Each structure stands twice: as structure tokens, then as C-alpha cells.
């Protein structure tokens, strides 16, 4: 049994209303969590328009499956999982193919300067992340931001663990190169 998570009365009322099909409750739930879920969708999208499409598709799924939420665990965590899965499915459906490069992880030299990230604002960093190739971006977000293991990522994306690791290394290297180029232009 999961640990008891206290839900606010407002959240509980909105969830119950959504289960009953109440449109005002659906709107209230969207207003409560829309911005947070949009930020998640934006990490997996290439632009704001695509993120809005994913968000809309995600909330359609939320309202479709909300009757299965049993008030155990975090509702926001449940929503987040749906948005991540919707983002991944959207990318699989709307992209011809997410290319995953495979090569020996040991062949990738470490090329990281941890201080370099601190020179950017969050929006600048997100802009660079959105510019990553789809495979790199998916793995980077799932590992670095969402905290999934390479094994979990491999299962979610139907790739090998070694591919997940190599995509992460390549994503980090490419991000660092973009940030260094940005710094050189600023000087």
C-alpha cells in the first residue's frame, strides 16, 4: 500500500468533479496544474506550439483516466507521469523516426565544465535543450530532469541501455558546445 498523501480539499473536490464529468472542475484542474504541466511538455517539444498540442492531448488523457486515480500517492506525480508519456507518444507519432546513435560509450571523451551552466538563465538553457536532436533531448530530459534510470529510459523508448547512456553523453557534449559558442559570442 502506498503512503497516505494528503490532498487539499480544493484538489480533492476538483478531482471528484472531474470524475463526475463536471466541466467547471476540469477547467479548475487545468488552471491549477496547466502551467506546471506545460513546462514539462515544453521540455519534450521543439517549440511552444508543439508543447501546447502535447498539453492538450495530455489533459484529454487525464480526464479520460482520472476515474482510475485512487487518491493514494501524489496527484501531481500522477499528472506528471501522464504528461511525460503523452510527450513521448507524441514524439513517436509525429516524428518519422527518432534517430538514436549507437556506439561504444567508452569512446566518448568526457567534455564537461560544470561551471558553464551557471552562466545561463533558465530560459536560455531550455532553448538549447529544445535544439537538441529528438533522441538526445528525450534521454536528457528523462535522465537529468525527470530522474529516470537508463534502464527505465531504455524500456520507455524501446532502446538499449547503452544507447541511452551514449545519447546522454552526446547531449551533454552538444549542450556544452552550444553554451561555449554562446559565451564566445558574448565576449
Helix 48-65, helix 23-44: angle, nearest 10: 140
Q: How many other C-beta atoms are found inside a 10 Å radius of the C-beta of residue 168?
A: 20
Same fold, 9-79 and 105-186: no
| Rounded Cα gap, residues 125 and 73, in angstroms | 31
What's the mean pLDDT in 156-180?
Answer: 92
CA proximity to 82, closest of 42, 49, 47, 54: 54
What pLDDT does residue 129 have? 87
| Residue 119 clears pLDDT 60, i.e. is over it | no
Query: What confidence category does residue 95 fall into, taking pLDDT thresholds of 50, 70 and 90?
Result: low
| Rounded Cα gap, residues 47 and 41, in angstroms | 10
Q: Which fold has domain 105-186?
A: Arc Repressor Mutant, subunit A (1.10.10)
Tell me which CATH code domain 9-79 carries: 1.10.1740.10
| Residue 102 clears pLDDT 50, i.e. is over it | no
| Residue 69 CB contacts under 8 Å (≥ 6 apart), including other chains | 15, 75, 78
| Rounded Cα gap, residues 52 and 45, in angstroms | 9
CA proximity to 62, closest of 98, 88, 33: 33
Q: Where are the domains of the chain?
A: 9-79, 105-186
- pLDDT tens per residue, range 32-47: 999 999 999 999 988 8
Amino acid at each position: 500500500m502506498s503512503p497516505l498523501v494528503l490532498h487539499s480539499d480544493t484538489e480533492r473536490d476538483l478531482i471528484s468533479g472531474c470524475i463526475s464529468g463536471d466541466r467547471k472542475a476540469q477547467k479548475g484542474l487545468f488552471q491549477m496544474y496547466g502551467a506546471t504541466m506545460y513546462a514539462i511538455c515544453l521540455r519534450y517539444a521543439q517549440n511552444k506550439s508543439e508543447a501546447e498540442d502535447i498539453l492538450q492531448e495530455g489533459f484529454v488523457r487525464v480526464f479520460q483516466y482520472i476515474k482510475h486515480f485512487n487518491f493514494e500517492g501524489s496527484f501531481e506525480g500522477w499528472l506528471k507521469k501522464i504528461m511525460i508519456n503523452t510527450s513521448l507518444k507524441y514524439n513517436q507519432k509525429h516524428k518519422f523516426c527518432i534517430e538514436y546513435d549507437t556506439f561504444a560509450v567508452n569512446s566518448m571523451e568526457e567534455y564537461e565544465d560544470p561551471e558553464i551552466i551557471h552562466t545561463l538563465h533558465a530560459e536560455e538553457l531550455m532553448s538549447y535543450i529544445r535544439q537538441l536532436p529528438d533522441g538526445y533531448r528525450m534521454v536528457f530530459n528523462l535522465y537529468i530532469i525527470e530522474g529516470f534510470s537508463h534502464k527505465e529510459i531504455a524500456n520507455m523508448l524501446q532502446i538499449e541501455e547503452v544507447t541511452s547512456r551514449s545519447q546522454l553523453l552526446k547531449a551533454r557534449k552538444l549542450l556544452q558546445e552550444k553554451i561555449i559558442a554562446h559565451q564566445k559570442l558574448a565576449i
